[in-house]
Amino acid sequence: MEVIQVRSIEEIGQVALREVLAVVKRNSRAVLGLATGSSPIGLYHAMIKDHQKNKTSYANIRTINLDEYVGIESSHSQSYRTFMNEHLFNHIDINPKNIHLPVGNGDDLRLECERYERVLQENNVDLQILGIGSNGHIAFNEPGTSFHSRTHVVTLDERTRQDNARFFNHLDEVPKYAITMGIESILRAKQIVLIAMGKNKAKAVAHMIGGSVSTDCPASVLQLHPNVVVIADEEALSELKVKPSILIDGVKLFKCNG
């Protein structure tokens, strides 16, 4: 696991963009696994600017998102479909046919999970972008989720609902359920870039990097993946026990075991 400490959301965007461009330039038909939440916004902003300036094309890129709320329409202002449209898809040349998100408002969620798992089997993710919940969740895989899980419906933790209430008018409006890629599905990605910002992530980040691999902190499973880059700010890394090993242009690089 490689940990890169950056100073701002812009720097997060730049460092994460480098990883995305390396994949997209190597293979114009690559599969990007995408995430929602505030953490990847700097990256999406950097991708849009780069697309406008340098004409990087996403015409044949396929995208697969991690999760979606259950019980709200895809067109709802806080659905993850709307988030992705507003923060990325509406601003790049991606083909809508190549965009995949779970559908959280259908009649049969079990069938939807099976359909999404097939999408994942047919599109091997080259680079997966992840955030991390303050309770250590990845996607919507809450503490206690099996590391062998595939796409499934989850009951959201009260802490997750409270964290995400800032995007809704009231806590009561935050959905109680979601469809999420499972942990096994996430680990199949060839490379993973996890972005973390802010003090409220510090405990989860410290456990993910230096704690025991345990379902108590789902993100700790990333210690078992061979190609993970964590891009985080100083606050998110403030509880980390290891010291940086390299310092380049003010950017700290931590090399960790696992």
Which residues lie near ligand GLP (CB under 6 A)?
A: 35-39, 66-67, 131-133, 139-140, 160, 164
Confirm whether 65 is a catalytic residue.
Answer: no
Cβ 183 to ligand GLP, closest distance in Å? 13
Cβ 156 to ligand GLP, closest distance in Å? 8
Nearest residue (CB) to ligand GLP, 147 versus 167: 167
Of the residues 11, 68, 142, 163, which is catalytic? 142
Nearest residue (CB) to ligand GLP, 56 versus 149: 149
Cα separations in angstroms, 108 against 112, 114, 116: 6, 10, 13
Nearest residue (CB) to ligand GLP, 56 versus 189: 189
Q: Residue for token digits 């009649």?
A: 107
Cβ 222 to ligand GLP, closest distance in Å? 13
Nearest residue (CB) to ligand GLP, 17 versus 186: 186
Of the residues 50, 67, 112, 233, which is catalytic? 67
Confirm whether 142 is a catalytic residue.
Answer: yes
Confirm whether 137 is a catalytic residue.
Answer: yes
Confirm whether 216 is a catalytic residue.
Answer: no
* Distance of alpha carbon 215 from alpha carbon 18, whole angstroms: 31
Nearest residue (CB) to ligand GLP, 34 versus 56: 34
Cβ 59 to ligand GLP, closest distance in Å? 26
Of the residues 87, 100, 137, 152, which is catalytic? 137
How wide is the angle at C-alpha 121 spanned by C-alphas 257 and 96, nearest 5°? Answer: 105
Cα separations in angstroms, 43 against 167, 174, 249: 20, 25, 20
Of the residues 98, 135, 141, 164, which is catalytic? 135
Cβ 203 to ligand GLP, closest distance in Å? 14
Which residue number places its CB atom closest to ligand GLP?
Answer: 131
Residues annotated catalytic, as ranges: 67, 135, 137, 142
